[in-house]
């Protein structure tokens, strides 16, 4: 069990550029979640997948944000035309599909938009 | 909409004392509630889960209570140590078992030697 891994850990970009984050969940976990966290706040839910199906998207996920999990394994979160307000920590988590339980978080990808 | 409130101010306590953190929620009746620990620059780490029909749950020096009438959970760390210093997050499942969690803002705990 290598845990949830995220890449890159840090990304600095200029406003208007596109960025993509990758998340590799724990291999036997069918559910995958994306959260965003800003300083002094708890993680805010963005979206989640059951296998390759995206089951829900938060209203926080504007049209500039898109998430995919094409084969039900790794996932990508893309932000197009970044804005300074997108600066945050983007956290990925996974969990088994059987009922109630904990989320296993990665270490996050910190985005800074200049 | 659902709202989760945690003590916004940092909690400072002396080593060896018991730390008590509060989580209050409104506009929801969760079937269970979770607590996570988060260190600076790291992802949250799961600590405990308590179901609505459980009044209390313990794990080593940790204890969680869940009062669905008061809509409140209390998180206790007994015999606290400086290594317990971190932010503690309360989370509710709003998806009926899909583990889609809504988090509070967290309470920062500082344990002083």
Distance CA A46, CA B100 (A): 10
Secondary structure in 3-state letters for B64-88: EEEECCCCEEEEEECCCCHHHCEEE
Q: How many cross-chain Cβ pairs, A to B, lie less than 8 Å apart?
A: 65
- Note the pLDDT of residue A6: 98
Selecting from B32, B43, B103 the residue whose C-beta is nearest the C-beta of A100 gives B32
Distance CA A64, CA A79 (A): 6
B60: left (phi over 0), alpha (psi -120 to 50) or beta: left
| Residue A63 DSSP one-character state | T
| Per-residue pLDDT tens digits for A12-61 | 999 999 999 999 999 989 999 999 999 999 999 999 999 999 999 998 78
Which residue of chain A comes nearest to B40, CA vs CA? A39
Provide, as residue numbers in chain A, all residues whose Cβ is less than 8 Å from the Cβ of B43: 4, 91, 93, 105-108
Average pLDDT, chain B: 92
Tell me the Cα Rg of chain B. Answer: 13
Q: Is 80 exceeded by the pLDDT of residue B81?
A: yes
| Per-residue pLDDT tens digits for B33-80 | 999 999 999 999 999 999 988 989 999 999 999 998 999 999 999 999
Q: Is 70 exceeded by the pLDDT of residue A1?
A: no
């Amino acid at each position: 069990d290598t845990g949830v891994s995220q890449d890159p850990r840090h990304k600095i970009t200029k406003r208007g550029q596109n960025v993509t984050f990758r998340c590799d969940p724990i291999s036997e976990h069918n559910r995958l979640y994306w959260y965003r966290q800003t300083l002094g706040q708890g993680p805010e839910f963005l979206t989640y997948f059951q296998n390759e199906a995206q089951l829900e998207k938060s209203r926080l996920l504007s049209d500039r944000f898109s998430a995919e999990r094409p084969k039900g394994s790794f996932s990508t979160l893309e932000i197009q035309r970044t804005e300074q307000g997108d600066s945050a920590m983007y956290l990925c988590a996974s969990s088994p599909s059987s009922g109630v339980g904990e989320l296993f978080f990665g270490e996050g990808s910190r985005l800074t938009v200049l | 909409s659902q709202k989760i409130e945690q003590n916004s101010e940092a909690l400072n306590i002396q080593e060896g004392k018991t730390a008590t953190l509060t989580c209050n929620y409104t506009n929801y009746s969760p079937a269970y509630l979770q607590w996570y620990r988060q260190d600076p620059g790291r992802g949250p780490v799961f600590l405990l889960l308590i179901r609505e029909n459980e009044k209390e749950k313990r794990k080593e020096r940790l204890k969680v209570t869940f009062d669905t009438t008061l809509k409140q959970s209390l998180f206790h760390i007994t015999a606290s140590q400086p290594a317990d210093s971190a932010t503690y997050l309360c989370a509710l499942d709003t998806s009926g078992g899909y583990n889609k969690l809504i988090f509070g803002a967290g309470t920062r705990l500082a344990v002083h030697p």
